[in-house]
Copies of this chain bind each other. A is one copy, B any other.
Amino acid sequence: LRRFMVLGAIASIFSVGAVQAQAPSGPLPPEQIIVIRQAVMDLQQGVAGAMKAAVDAKSDVKPLVPGAKGLVSSAKVITSMFPGGTETGHDTKAKPEIWSDWAGFEKAQAAMLAATEKLVPLAEANDTAGFATQFAAVGRTCGGCHREYKMKD
C-alpha cells in the first residue's frame, strides 16, 4: 500500500506541473467582488480627479465625454457589487447600513445615476460652465452616499 501511496504522490506532483493555466470557474468569491468594487471606486475617483482639474482650469470638457459615460455605466452597477456576503473582507470601508438600509442605498445610487447622466450632454456640447455646475452636483451624490454608507478612512 505504501508503495502505491508514494507512486500516487509522485503522479499528483507531475499532474500539478502539467495543469494548464485556465480561467477560474464557479461563483466569484465575495472577497474578489470587494476587490473589484474597490477598483471601480478608484477609477471613479480617477475620472473625477481629471474632471476637477478641467473645471478648475476652465478648460475644454469635450475630452471628458468618455469619463462621464464611464461614471454613468458604473453608477448602474454599483449596488450589484454589494451583494449579501460582501459585508466584510479586504479592508472594505462599506458600512453595515448598506445592508440594513438597502432602500436608502438604492436611492443614493439613483441620485448618482441621474446626476452623471446629465453630465454627458454637457461634456458633448463642451459647455465648460454648465459642466462645472453639474460636476458639483455629481460630487454631492458621491459625498452623500459616502457619508451614509462608507466608513471614514
Contacts and interface: CB of A to CB of B under 8 A. Distances in A.
Contacts of A60: 53
A108 interface: no
The oligomer's copy count stands at 2
A68 to B, nearest CB: 7
Question: Interface of chain A, helix or strand or loop or mixed?
Answer: helix
Tell me which of A44, A46, A48 has the highest count of chain B C-beta atoms within 10 A of its own C-beta.
A46
B74 A42 contact: yes
A40 interface: yes
Interface stretch (A7-15, A96-104, A133-141): A96-104
A51 interface: yes
Interface in A66-94: 66-74, 76-77, 79-85
Interface size class of A (residues with CB under 8 A): 35 or more
A40 B72 CA distance: 11
A43 interface: yes
A83 B39 contact: no
A50 interface: yes
A13 B69 CA distance: 38
Given A27-B28, A36-B81, 16 more contacts: A21-B103, A32-B77, A32-B80, A35-B76, A36-B40, A39-B70, A42-B72, A43-B46, A43-B70, A45-B70, A46-B67, A48-B66, A49-B66, A50-B54, A50-B67, A53-B54
